[in-house]
Structure 1
Amino acid sequence: MDTGTTALMLCCIIGLTMMIPGLALFYGGMVSVKSSVNMMMMTYGAVAVVGLLWFLFGFSVVFGDSIGGVLGNPGDFFGSSGLLEATTSYDGVTTLIFSLFQALFACITVALISGAAADRMKFSAWMVFAGVWAVVVYFPVAHWVFSFDGVVSESGGWIANRLGAIDFAGGTAVHINAGAAALALALVLGKSKTFGTGPKPHNVPLTLLGAGLLWAGWYAFNGGSWLTADGGAAFAMVTTFLATCAATLAWLAVEKLKDGHVSGIGAASGAIAGLVAITPACGAVTPVGAILVGLVAGVVCPLAVGLKEKLGYDDSLDVVGVHLVGGLIGTLMIGLVGSAESVNAVEGLLYGGGVGQLGKQALAAGAVLAYSFLVSALLAYVLKVTMGLRISPEDEELGIDAKLHRDPAYELV
């Protein structure tokens, strides 16, 4: 076992765990003071339930021997059996470490969706949605994208192996997947009472702090996905940093041109947009290409965020505009500005590679988007007609923290 790679992966697991409070703070600062605790609890609740499901059978469904390229065999590692003895094909990475690393991907992906349900969803309904969605949507899609032939099991998913689309760390499986689910949930859940006229974020410093923790954790997210302690991990971290800087500046520039000012929420959102967009592409583009990815995300994502009021869907914390759109940008730009000089060594259209890779990227993105949206909408609708999704109008007016949790964010006199 390679002790250097083992140390890297253990550090990356700690970095990914930092993203849990990072996401909670990022979301919690952007909502009303009356629902801040609930927003944070949706993150922690999702992590808890998905983490248990992952080690019971989720890892096996994702990385077990493939059934037709669609699903891993649930019995291969059921109850995490055999993880201690098994090894991956990557030098020095035990399957046990790899499983914990990937568990945090699953947990964070599910938690991202909660931003579309702020202020109005029952906590019990969210917990059921989170657990079932992980099983019927995330686990299959992660198998398609992350399960490579011969790494853990003999055969893996169709996107990674048969299609050959590039997704370094989850532009499709994480961000497009979560963004499509957020759109479906928002549509079924309906608009909040204050849609379009709601209070401004109650604590911008919390959101900026959360964004900073997410930025730090994203190095583990992307760099750790190389699964080896060498220059490939460093390459992914450098492109991650550059895209995030570029996206932050671009978002602020769009804000200045549109509204005449720049904001803390804009800086935080711009950073997250850059992180999202570079996630699939961090090993496929050069540092200059990473800057281009960040600039495109920083310009397009704030414009996409503005569509929710025009189109009438209440994506409260812009999961669609940032994660779905940002994930699409990063995934497709691999087919445009992918470079043979990158660690993935894939050439995009603008580097003389033709349209082949772009077509593969588009097919992967479209398949994940369609599957996630349709199954998520069906799941949300079933929960709506059975246990109910929304709190009552009276409770929404009073505040979800006071009614459901008896645990306000602040003691106000």
Structure 2
Amino acid sequence: MSAKPAVDLAALIRAEAAALGFSAARFAPLPDVWAASGRLEAFVEAGFHGDMAWMEETLERRKHPRNMWPAAKSALVLGYNYGPAENPLDGLTRPDVANISVYARNDDYHELIKGKLKQLAGLIVAKTGCELKVFVDTAPLMEKPLAQLAGLGWQGKHTNLVSRDFGSWLFLGVILLDQVVTGDAPEVDHCGSCRACLDICPTGAFVGPYRLDARKCLSYLTIELRGPWPERFRHQMGNRVYGCDDCLAACPWNKFAEATHETRLQTRDGFTNLKLTDLARLDDEAFRTLFRKSPIKRIGRAAFLRNVHYGLGNAAKSVPDDEIISVLMNSLGDEAAVVRGAAVWALRQGLSTEAFVELKAGRLPGETDDSVLYEWEGRYDSDG
């Protein structure tokens, strides 16, 4: 197979990537052995992946890019800036309003990045005739260690990628090539003694620098977990109903970042002012309409409204409100057991002990789901 000189290929790809809106495009030769595989194995062995069974099922494939595609020789790692124009932590001061992670405040970035990667891949194949594979973060590939090898940034103490140019606000995409392309210099760790990301975590999910127990992480709890949460995390979530940006937003390197110019990643109108009471009233059709093209739609109405009702419980405890209580009472009849259970817990926060006991006496006989009965009884002592 004939190909252009590696330096020409690299220059061509960088130019095309920039034209497609990527903020960074760098190359890494694939090492025969890398430390990332050992760290991943230790993470899974410790059980830190929680209910994300797919991490265990795909462990061997994840350990090295060649386990995904034996012909791979180089990785092209691309970064797409999604930096927010506003401080994502500002919304935490408004307990009655939903705080949604920056990456989910507009279109699903998977679709955006995947489309641009495929465009770039088509151009590379047309110009060089090489073979390649395209990956976004739904595939079993460790993008962040590859990004560090390629020099886009380094994995910070919060385990996410940190860039000297874009802070903690880069989406990643990877194209594996069957050609050896001259690699860029790898990046080194610039975290130093800083602990900002570790200390701000509302649930204490970091067992140490660079070590995350996902089972305690609000991003995992709000997005990956489908059943009821351990109670202590419900109190700690505040109004974070989808994802959590605290560790990302606390990173001092964000001072060099700029807001994204990609309109599909900028905050949608109204997405920082969504009232929890309005969200709690969403039926399935209204949920799908409101979150059309959003990654939130992928977790489904029941899991999202579970999160919303936990948030309402926290709001009711801090700012008693008749509308909140009325909405929660209505949710006791929701078709989804996980929503009914979350509503029971929220009412326990907002009602007096006497009022809750009276409500329980009237409602308990009509409930048949074990998880909801658990909430009525308040058996939280032994949960995680």
Higher relative contact order (CA 8 A, sep 6+): 1
TM-score w.r.t. structure 1 length? 0.22
Which one has a larger percent helix, Structure 1 or Structure 2? 1
TM-score w.r.t. structure 2 length? 0.23
Larger radius of gyration: 2
Which one has a larger percent strand, Structure 1 or Structure 2? 2
